[in-house]
Amino acid sequence: MSALFVGENKFFLPETQSTNSYAISLLKNVNLPEGTLIYTHHQTAGRGRRNHGWESEPGMNVTASYTLKPTFLEVKKIFSLYVISSLAIYDVLSHFLPDGQFDIKIKWPNDILINGKKIAGVLNENILKEHHIQHSIIGIGININQTKFPKTIKATSLKILTNKDINLESVFEVLNSRLEKHYMKLKAERKANKNHYDSEIIKRYYKNMYKLNETCLLETAKGLGSYIIRGINENGLLLVEDDKKIVHEFDLHQVVWKI
Ligand code: BTN
């Protein structure tokens, strides 16, 4: 099914520093329609979370930002934008991969892995006004046709996995429609004040969550420790259980995976 508004208005930039940065500066001057897509073939200074860069070979991959206006969302629930973007990427990858052959996982907070290697990442940035979300920028990088990556990163791409080149426009068609679908579902669930554990979005997130109910080594303010991953709470904090069965909540800045 094609999207109604996500990706309807779009800007293609042959080259830009970062589509997220471009979207943010554009939003300061122009009232973009919700769902605007900004994409490029070459990011010269792509950004990831925690001040990391995002490297992508020109013309090979999805490097794009969508602008949304989730005015229905409380600021404390902002993480749900990472949830729906991850689900949309999950759907795109399932669409282009043969059924059931690959283990696609959503690694909290913003990575998508296949067979333990990173294939996509999300960078969500928001413009707030008087404690409300005025604009949200969903930056998405998906490795599509690139086959060589620096040895220092464990990365993969659809081409490496399928040995086929994939037309980037066809990836955007699926991405636009799945992002719209999950965004509209989120909107409906928030408007109905749906309970976290009854949410279909959260159920799908749990179904595909990396290391759910498994023991992992994490670095927190207390140092390195083993914890069982138990999911996310209603505000997107990671829930982990220690060896005394106490459940802790960590936010994006309080924990680093050490696996
Ligand atoms: C991460 O893995 O930490 C997130 C990576 C997000 C990369 C995308 S590419 C398009 C958009 N523009 C950016 O500068 N970053 C995001």
Please tell me the predicted confidence (pLDDT) of residue 51: 87
195 alpha carbon to ligand 1 midpoint, in Å? 30
Answer whether 41 contacts ligand 1 (Cβ < 6 A): no
Three-state helix/strand/coil letters over the chain: CCCCCCCCCEEEECCECCHHHHHHHHHHHCCCCCCEEEEECCECCCECHHHCECCCCCCCCEEEEEEECCCCCCHHHCCHHHHHHHHHHHHHHHHHCCCCCCCEEEECCCEEEECCEEEEEEEEEEEEECCEEEEEEEEEEECCCCCCCCCCCCECCHHHHHCCCCCHHHHHHHHHHHHHHHHHHHHHHHHCCCCHHHCHHHHHHHHCECCCCCEEEEEECCEEEEEEEEEECCCCCEEEECCCCCEEEECCCCCEECC
Does the Cβ of 109 fall within 6 Å of ligand 1?
A: no
What is the distance in A from the centroid of ligand 1 to the CA of 47? 5
Residue 149's alpha-carbon distances to 14, 16, 24, 141, in angstroms, are: 22, 21, 28, 14
Which of 42, 117, 123 should be mutated for ligand 1, with most atoms under 8 A from CB? 123
User: How many A from CA of 138 to the centre of ligand 1?
Assistant: 9
What pLDDT, on the 0 to 100 scale, is given for residue 89?
Answer: 98
pLDDT of residue 100: 85
Taking the C-alpha atoms of residue 120 and residue 111, their distance in angstroms, rounded to an integer, is: 6
Cα–Cα distance between 231 and 213 in angstroms, integer? 8
What's the average model confidence in pLDDT over 160-180? 98
Determine which residue's CA is closest to atom 15 belonging to ligand 1.
47
Residue 146 has what pLDDT?
Answer: 98
pLDDT at residue 102, rounded to an integer: 95
The residue whose CA is least distant from atom 7 of ligand 1 is 141
Is the CB of 52 inside a 6 Å radius of any atom of ligand 1?
yes
- Tell me the best of 11, 20, 37, 117 to mutate to test the pocket of ligand 1, counting ligand atoms within 8 Å of each CB and taking the most: 20
Give pLDDT tens digits for 57-90.
999 999 999 999 999 999 999 999 999 999 999 9
**CA atoms within 13 Å, Cβ hemisphere of 255:** 21
Tell me, in angstroms, the distance from the centre of ligand 1 to residue 56's CA. 10
For the entire predicted model, the pTM comes to 0.97
Given the CA of residue 64, which atom of ligand 1 is nearest to it?
A: 10
Q: Does 175 sit in the ligand 1 pocket, CB within 6 Å?
A: no
Answer yes or no: is pLDDT of 259 > 80.
Answer: no
Between the CA of 245 and the centroid of ligand 1 the distance, in Å, is 35
The pair phi, psi for residue 207, each rounded to 5°, is: -60, -30
